[in-house]
Amino acid sequence: MKRSGVLAVASVTGALTAAILLLVDYRSFVSVNSPGVLVTFIAVGWAFVAAGVAAWRTRPHDHTGRLTVIAGLLWLVWAFNFSSNSIAFTVGGVLVVTYSVAIIQVLLGYPLGRLRTRWERWFVAGCYVYSIGSAMTELAFGDPGPVGFEHEHPVNLLLIRDDPGLLKSLQMVFAPIDLAIAFVVLAVLITRWRNGTPAYRAAFAPLWLATLVGTAMSATVFLVKQRSQDSTMEWVTSVNFAAIALVPLAIVVGLWRYRGARAASQVMVEVGAAPLGEGFTTALRRALRDPSLVLWSWSPELAEFVDADGVVHELPGDGEDRAATVLENDSEPVGALVYDQSLRDQPQLIAAVRSATVVTLDNQRLQTELEAQLEEVRRSRGRIVSSGDEQRRRLERDLHDGAQQRLVAAAILLRRAQRSMNEQQLRDLLSQGAAELDLAVTELRELARGVYPPVLKERGLGAALDSLAERTPLPLEIRDELTVRPGEAVELAAYYIAAEAVANATKHSSASLVEISLRMVDGALRVTVSDDGCGGAGFTPGGGLSGLQDRAAALAGTLTLDSPVAGGTVLTVDLPTVDLPTVGIHA
C-alpha cells in the first residue's frame, strides 16, 4: 500500500468521523449511553482502520488489511443509528452488524488473509447477505420511534408497516440463526486450533485471545442490558468497546510477530551461532517458532532432497499445509527448509533464516573440505616421508650391490697386483682392476642419471624422455608438443612421474608399447602415459601410484588413472606452470 493509499483511507475515515459528529444527535446518543462511550466508540473504529492500514502496507498481497479497514468503517457507520438524518439513520440501521461479518472473514482467513475452502466463501457471503437482509427486514416491519430524540426523530425510509408482533416473530427467527453463525465460527476456530501446527497457534494466539475476551464482554453487556438500566450498563458498554479494540491490536501483533530488522538480525545471530546438526535444526525451529521445521540436504548423486536419514523427499506443493524454501549457493541447490505454511507470508524472517542457513551450510562445507584437505596433507606427508625413506634405501641398495661391489673388487685386484712378482700377472691384475673401475663409473653415472638426469636440465623434458626411451626395454614413443619449457620444478616432477609410469608398465602390465605425450592445456603441463597392457592398475596405500599422486599434489597438480582390466592403462597428470616456487623436487 502506497502513501497515497494511506492518505486516502485516512481521508475517508476522517470524513466518516466528521459526518458522525455532525449527523449524530448527541442528546439521543447519551440518552442510552454515557458521554465517554462516543469517544471510546470512535477510538475503536480508528483502531481498526489503523491496524488495517498497517497490515495492508506490510501484506499487500492478501485481504487481511483491507478487511480490517472495512470492519473499522462499518463499525463507525453504527453511530448513524442515533442520527436525526433519515438517510444516515436508515443506512446505519441496515449496516448495524455488518462489521461483525468482516471480522468473521478476517478470523476465518487469518493469517493468510484468504478463505481456504469453497464452503467458507459461501458461508461468509451468506453472512453478509443475512446481516443486511435481516436488518432491512426488521426496519421494514419495525419503527424505532422517537426514542432518545428530543426534537425531530428520523424517518425510517424502509418502513412498510409498524407491526411489533411480526417484528418480535422475526427476531425469534433471527436469534437462533445468529447463534448458529457464532457456533459455526467458533467450531471452525476450535478445530483449527486443535489441528493447527505450533507455528499456526503462535501466530493466531493473540487474535484468538482477543476474540475470546471480546465475546465474553459482549455476552456480559447483553446480560447486563437485560437485567439493569442503570449507569452500570453504560460502564460495561465502554469496557465492551475497549475489549473489541483488542481485535485490531491482536491482528497487528500476530502479523508482525516475526517482523522487523532487529528480529531478523537476532535470527541471523542465533542461527549462525548454532553448530550444524540437531542443535542447528533446533535453533531454526526456535527462530521460526515452528517445532515441525525440518532441514533437508541436496544429494547431487540422486538429484533429490534427502533428510538426515537419507530418505528422499519431494518439496511440498502450493495446495499443501507445508511450505519450503530452497537454499542455494552459486545458483546450485544445497538444501531446503520445510516449515508450516502459515509462515509463508513472513518473507523478512524467512529471508533472514535462509541467509543464515546458507552461510552456515557454506561455512560447514568449507570447513569439511578444509579438514579433508588437511587430513590428506597429513597422509601425503607420511607417504612422502615413506617414499623418501624407500628411495634412500633403494639408493643404498643400488650402491651396495653395484658400484660398491665393483670398487671393492678393484681394490682387491690392485692389492694383489702390489704383491705380485710376476710381470704378466701384474698386467692382468691391473687390467682387471681397471675394468672393474670402468664398470663402477658406468653404474655410478647411471645411478646419478636416475637421481637427476643432466640432460633434463640441459635440454629439457622431451630430450630427457628420449634418453629414457633409449634405456627402456619396451618400445617407447614420445610426442613432444611443447614450445616453451615449463620450469625446473614442473619438469623434474613430470619426468619422475613419467619414468615411474614407464617402469610400472615394464614390470607389471605386459605391454608391447608405451606412449608419452607432452602438451600445454590451460596453462598447465599435461603429461599422458599410456600403454596397451593388461590394465587393472589402481591407487593403493603406500603404492607407487599413490606416491606419484602425492608428487603431483605437491605442485597443486592432479593425477588421474584410467586402467580397465584388459584395456590398457592411461595415466594423465596436469601440473600448473603459473606462480610455482622454483625449488627442486628430489627423489
The candidate with the shortest Cα–Cα distance to 462, out of 521, 503, 516, 531, is: 516
**Per-residue pLDDT reduced to its tens digit, 545-564:** 777 887 788 788 889 999 88
pLDDT winner (highest mean) among 139-148, 219-228, 327-336: 327-336
Angle between helices 423-451 and 403-419 (to 10 degrees): 160
pLDDT of residue 146: 47
Instruction: Give the pLDDT of residue 30.
Output: 58
pLDDT, tens digit, for every residue of 270-282? 444 445 555 667 7
| Digit-coded pLDDT (tens) for 168-187 | 888 888 888 988 988 898 88
Task: Report the candidate in 510, 547, 515, 543 with the shortest Cα–Cα distance to residue 528.
Answer: 515
Strands 514-521 and 558-562: unpaired
The residue type found at 399 is L
Q: What is the mean pLDDT of residues 560-584?
A: 77
Q: Is 109 a residue whose pLDDT tops 90? A: no
pTM: 0.49
d(CA 252, CA 240): 20
Contact 183, 191 (CB under 8 A): no
Q: Between 583 and 368, where is the model more confident?
A: 368
What is the percent of the chain with per-residue pLDDT over 90, rounded to a whole number? 8
Integer Cα distance of 257 and 290 in angstroms: 13
- Check pLDDT > 50 for residue 103: yes
> Is the per-residue pLDDT at 139 higher than 80?
yes
**Residue-level pLDDT at 35:** 62
Task: Output the pLDDT for position 226.
Answer: 60
pLDDT at 511 over 90: no
- Report how far residue 583's alpha carbon sits from residue 129's, in angstroms, rounded to the nearest whole number: 91
Distance between CA 327 and CA 358 in Å, rounded? 6
Would you state the pLDDT for residue 55? 77
| Per-residue pLDDT band at 268 (split at 50, 70, 90) | very low
pLDDT confidence of residue 440: 75
C-alpha cell at 145: 420511534
Q: Bigger pLDDT: 359 or 128?
A: 128
Phi and psi angles of residue 464, each rounded to the nearest 5 degrees, phi first: -65, -40
Given this model, what pLDDT does residue 148 score?
Answer: 46
Alpha-carbon separation of residue 129 from 68, 134, 136, 139 (angstroms) = 19, 8, 10, 15
What pLDDT is stored for residue 258 in this prediction?
42
Which pLDDT belongs to residue 489?
A: 82
Beta strands 524-531; 569-576: pairing state: antiparallel
The answer on pLDDT for 381 being more than 70 is no
Average predicted confidence (pLDDT) for the chain = 77
Beta bridge partners of 559: 573
Residue 579: is its pLDDT beyond 80? no
* Per-residue pLDDT reduced to its tens digit, 442-484: 767 666 555 567 778 788 888 888 888 888 888 999 999 988 8
pLDDT 10s digits, 293-328: 888 888 888 888 888 788 888 888 876 778 888 877
Does the pLDDT at position 259 exceed 60?
no
Highest mean pLDDT among 101-115, 401-415, 462-476: 462-476
Q: Are 333 and 315 in contact (CB under 8 A)?
A: no
Task: Cell numbers for 49, please give them.
Answer: 482502520
Quote the pLDDT of residue 123. Answer: 94
Comparing C-alpha atoms, which of 541, 578, 538 is closest to residue 556? 578
CB 539 within 8 A of CB 549: yes
- Say how far apart CA 303 and CA 345 lie, in whole Å: 28
Give the mean pLDDT of 193-209: 73
- 108: Cβ contacts below 8 Å, ≥ 6 apart: 115, 116, 120, 123, 124, 185, 188
Average pLDDT for 231-244: 64
How is residue 84 annotated by DSSP? S
Residue of 139 and 251 predicted with greater confidence:
139
Q: If DSSP states are collapsed to H, E and C, what string results for 329-380? A: ECCEEEEEEEEEHHHCCCHHHHHHHHHHHHHHHHHHHHHHHHHHHHHHHHHH
Most confident of the following: 91-105, 117-131, 381-395, 477-491: 117-131
User: What pLDDT shows up at residue 403?
Assistant: 72
pLDDT bin (cut points 50, 70, 90) of residue 384 is low
Residue of 544, 537, 540, 532 lying closest to 498 (CA atoms): 544
* Residue 186 grid coordinates: 467458533
Residue 129 reports pLDDT greater than 80: yes
Query: Which residues 6+ apart lie within 8 Å of 274 measured at CB?
Result: 280, 282, 283, 284, 360
What per-residue confidence (pLDDT) applies to 225?
59
pLDDT confidence band for 2 (50 / 70 / 90): low
Residue 506 pLDDT class (50, 70, 90 cuts): confident
Q: How far does CA 334 lie from the centroid of its chain? A: 7
